[in-house]
Amino acid sequence: MKKILSLILSMLPLFVFAQVVDEDEPLAVYTVNEDSVSVDSLMGDTIVGSAEMAWPENVVARIDKLVEHKMFETSQLGMMVYDLTADSVIYRKNERQLMRPASTMKNITAIAAIEKLGGSYQFNTSLYYRGGITGNVFDGDLYCVGGMDPSFGSDDMRAFVESVVQLGADTIRGRIVADLSFKDADRLGEGWCWDDDNPVLTPLLVSRKDVFVERFVELLRNSGVVVEAEVTEGSLPNGASIICTRSHSLDQILMKMMKDSNNLYAEAMFYQLAAFGGNRPATASYARQHIARLIKKIGLTPSRYKVADGSGLSLYNYVSPELQVALLRYAYNNSTIFNHLYEAMPIAGEDGTLKKRMRGTFAAGNVRAKTGTLTGISSLAGYCTAANGHLLCFCIINQGVMHNNNGRNFQDRVCVALCKP
């Protein structure tokens, strides 16, 4: 009996040690509607941590375990996590690898645009006239001057029509001129797939469609105005008088660009950046120059990266997790940028493109980040609040993933590892 008791007592330390290793419960697979293909589940993996480890080491152990997954035998991972509160790197893996960012490219566009344009910047579309009214006939030209405002909608168009009606004319002769001089004639971005459902990059938009003048004429006629004018393109001349301007703020554009990952809104922001300083017509090259100067400002080499567009649609964009994290750090240290950017980012489990992700986990409500998806690419970059109250910034790019849900599941689990106590 004494031998049995002695054997049991000798085994107690082993049981005590086993209690120290805290093996997290498997996380659910979080899916979104944009990828209906069945995926290889990450359900079998667990996030391992230890109660004896300090917080940063515990996080590293959890992520190291996730990185061991077999999906990385056939795909590439670039990742970097930075503790903004402690001003130190927490995790890095292939962080300098050049990869396609997909829609996390919008982070770069947003930071560059907010810094250069300022939070009070307005996207404008204006209506001018030159000529006069004889009787009830307006004999002259109406100029629709585009400023590439993607938010210009039906209410704005009705305001244009009402301003013409208030001139007191029931007939319009002369010309209705579309002024498209704000940007160049390119209607697609560099490296876009021609057969994708791409936005049209024109300065005159109504409800995000390239039918501005047609809709204007239609509503004029519906309001009882006889339109006998020629419709054409041209530039606003000196001496024309303004009769209506419709504007939307940078924050209004930024919110939809980031929360909903709207590509047209991102390209509009990109071309506003290009137009800064009076560049006309605005070109993608001008926007790239501004972004290159910002990259140099944060201490990196612009020539190492390829910036093709503002939305991330292009297959020619090549950036690194290191660059994205450096820009997120720069934004954090500049409140005039950060206050606009942070509020516009999707919140895990709550809204935007993260509404259906990370629900019911420690990451829900604690992660604000931009998502990205292209064929073979899944990415996530932004900020999160860790369990110790520290604010982190991170970038995760999964490249070569056959099913994008695998990339998203991995990213979600990394975020949970960062936020979990």
Closest residue by Cα to residue 415 from 343, 367, 371: 367
Instruction: Give the residue with greater pLDDT, 18 vs 371.
Output: 371
- pLDDT over 50 at 119, yes or no: yes
* CA pair distance 413, 408, nearest whole angstrom: 9
Helix, strand, coil content of the chain in percent (nearest 5): 35, 25, 40
Residue 297: strand, helix, or coil: helix
pLDDT band at residue 20 using 50, 70 and 90 as cut-offs? very low
The answer to whether 22-118+267-419 and 122-249 have equal CATH topology is: no
25-34, 171-180, 217-226, range with the lowest pLDDT: 25-34
pLDDT band at residue 43 using 50, 70 and 90 as cut-offs? very low
Q: How large is the average pLDDT for residues 202-219? A: 97
Taking the domains of the chain in order of start, what are their residue ranges? 22-118+267-419, 122-249
Residue with tokens 């938009």: 205
pLDDT at residue 419, rounded to an integer: 96
Residue 150: strand, helix, or coil: coil
Q: How large is the average pLDDT for residues 347-359? A: 98
pLDDT at residue 54, rounded to an integer: 79
Q: What single DSSP character describes residue 70?
A: G
Name every residue whose Cβ is closer than 8 Å to that of residue 94 and which is 6 or more positions away in sequence: 76, 77, 78, 79, 321
- pLDDT over 70 at 164, yes or no: yes
pLDDT at residue 196, rounded to an integer: 84
pLDDT band at residue 50 using 50, 70 and 90 as cut-offs? low
36-45, 100-109, 180-189, 228-237, range with the lowest pLDDT: 36-45
- pLDDT over 80 at 41, yes or no: no
Which pTM value belongs to this model? 0.88
Fold assignment, 122-249? D-tyrosyl-trna(Tyr) Deacylase; Chain: A; (3.50.80)
pLDDT at residue 4, rounded to an integer: 45
Closest residue by Cα to residue 418 from 382, 379, 373: 382
pLDDT at residue 111, rounded to an integer: 98
Q: How large is the average pLDDT for residues 138-149? A: 97
Q: How large is the average pLDDT for residues 8-28? A: 34
CA angle 390/87/59 to nearest 5° reads: 55
* CA pair distance 57, 89, nearest whole angstrom: 12
Q: What single DSSP character describes residue 302?
A: G
pLDDT at residue 51, rounded to an integer: 53
pLDDT at residue 349, rounded to an integer: 98
pLDDT at residue 40, rounded to an integer: 45
The mean pLDDT value of the chain amounts to: 89
Instruction: Give the residue with greater pLDDT, 48 vs 68.
Output: 68
- pLDDT over 70 at 385, yes or no: yes
Angle, helices 404-419 vs 55-67, to 10°: value is 160
Fold assignment, 22-118+267-419? Beta-lactamase (3.40.710)
Q: Which residues of 339-365 are buried (b: 16+ CB within 10 A; e: fewer)?
A: ebbbebbbbbbeebbbeebbbebbbbe
- pLDDT over 90 at 150, yes or no: yes
Residue with tokens 């649609």: 313
Strands (E), 259-376: 367-374
pLDDT band at residue 42 using 50, 70 and 90 as cut-offs? low
pLDDT band at residue 21 using 50, 70 and 90 as cut-offs? very low
pLDDT at residue 16, rounded to an integer: 32
Q: How large is the average pLDDT for residues 71-80? A: 97
- pLDDT over 60 at 2, yes or no: no
